[in-house]
Chain A
Amino acid sequence: MTKSELIARLAELNPHLYQRDVERIVSTIFDEITNALARGDRVELRGFGAFSVKKRDARVGRNPRTGDAVKVDSKHIPFFKTGKQLRERLNAD
């Protein structure tokens, strides 16, 4: 499922809404999550999962082709942990 398929599905479930508004609803949700993470905040959506930011320290890496040592700067990466309920849904037999 892509973002546009998600928008189409939401529009189908809510025929009283304008297409333009459905697009804004979906964009707003993912933009809010992005903005929160960019502030260093956590996003916790019970039953679905939690987004957080993890810090990776600077390290010396290697160019796998040449074997040369290269400095890798410290960085922040987004991380997602699946919520309990969703994890159970994925494994419901």
Chain B
Amino acid sequence: MTEKTVTRAQLSEAVYQEVGLSRNESADLVETVLNEVADALERGEMVKISSFGSFSVRQKGRRIGRNPKTGEEVPILPRRVLVFRPSHVLKGRINEDLTGN
């Protein structure tokens, strides 16, 4: 299997083909969608896209990490991380097509 990389360009092209707006406007809309999702996450909101998955923001506490090269102890500061939970539909599609289950 040769692995390819899909980027904004292919998403915009798909919107262009599917909806029939100009290429420029299609690209702008893809950008707006990503931005709106990012804005919601920045506000700490959970983003749920049915049959795709959900993105949520989790707060992590301070902990002591270690520089793996030097062994030196370094504090890892409290931070917010993004977690993606794929939906059953998405997991099902991927398994059907790639694993053949």
Chain A contacts to B: CB under 8 angstroms: 1-3, 6, 9-10, 13-14, 17, 21, 24-26, 28-34, 36-46, 48-49, 51, 53, 73-80, 82, 86-87, 89-92
**Count class of interface residues, chain B:** 35 or more
Check B36–A10 contact: CB distance below 8 A: yes
Query: For A77, what are the chain B residues with a Cβ–Cβ distance below 8 Å?
Result: 86, 91, 94
Nearest B residue to A13 via CB reads B32
Check A38–B3 contact: CB distance below 8 A: no
Q: How many angstroms between the C-alpha atoms of A80 and B53 in the bound complex?
A: 11
Query: For A49, what are the chain B residues with a Cβ–Cβ distance below 8 Å?
Result: 82, 84
A47 CB to closest chain B CB (Å) equals 8
| Contacts A2-B50, A38-B98, A39-B97 supplied; 15 other A-B pairs, CB < 8 Å | A2-B47, A21-B21, A28-B15, A36-B10, A37-B93, A38-B94, A41-B6, A43-B5, A43-B7, A73-B99, A78-B90, A80-B84, A82-B81, A86-B38, A86-B82
